[in-house]
Amino acid sequence: MQSREEAFALLRDYTKNENLIKHMLAVEASMKAYARKFGENEEKWGIAGLLHDFDYEMYPSLEHHPFKGVEILRGKGYPEDLLRAILAHGNHTGTKRENLFEKTIFAVDELTGFLTACALVQPSKSLVEVKVPSVKRKMKDKAFAKGVSRDDIFQGVQELGVDLDEHIEFVLQAMIGIADQLGLDGKNS
């Protein structure tokens, strides 16, 4: 399998939007944290998170994303289980999530975006100020981060078989670990 550096270079070839890159870094960090927790391959899980949306800027339609990206990755020799996990990150692909790898990428994808939105409304724009009760309150406000599917967050928690509060805190801590890369460390406010 290709290295993380090769995966990141590929991501950069296809994606120029810095916010989209930050989203993929957040999903990567969350996937690596869950891989550690579950005793899985941290490098592979991280690369799946890093590349799950790499084709989105070029192929933003549900008809093409992530199918085009998976074709590209298959041509570069990425393993089929990683490709299935990428396909499984969205309900629109019709890929049934059958294992922890596939369930985890789905469970963290939308939540990382929501947590980013929660951090951006903090006075310091820092993830360390984000607290689980506040996140849950904001989830009830349909006008807040309206592009984030709450249904996908709840479905992901259910499929993964984790407690919502614990999941939010776990992903939040993974993101805090790279807050400087995400621009959510309070130093840019």
Q: How far apart are CA 153 and CA 145, in angstroms?
A: 13
Nearest 5°: the CA angle 134, 138, 143 is 160
pLDDT in tens, 18-68: 999 999 999 999 999 999 999 999 999 999 999 999 999 999 999 999 999
pLDDT in tens, 86-115: 999 999 999 999 999 999 999 999 999 999
Q: Check whether 189 has a pLDDT greater than 60.
A: no
User: What one-letter code names the amino acid at 130?
Assistant: V
Residue 189 located in a structural domain: no
Predicted local confidence at residue 187, as pLDDT: 85
Residue 188 located in a structural domain: no
pLDDT in tens, 113-123: 999 999 999 99
Q: How far apart are CA 164 and CA 170, in angstroms?
A: 10
Angle between helices 100-120 and 164-176 (to 10 degrees): 70
Predicted local confidence at residue 138, as pLDDT: 97
Cα radius of gyration rounded to whole Å, the chain: 15
Specify the CATH number for the domain of residue 74: 1.10.3210
Nearest alpha-carbon partner for 103 in 161, 143, 50, 54: 161
pLDDT band at 188 (very low <50, low <70, confident <90, very high): low
> Do residues 176 and 25 lie in contact, with contact meaning Cβ atoms separated by under 8 Å?
no
Residue 187 located in a structural domain: no
Domain that includes residue 72, residue range: 4-182
Residue 136 located in a structural domain: yes
Q: Check whether 160 has a pLDDT greater than 90.
A: yes
Q: What is the pTM of this model?
A: 0.97
* Total of domains in the chain: 1
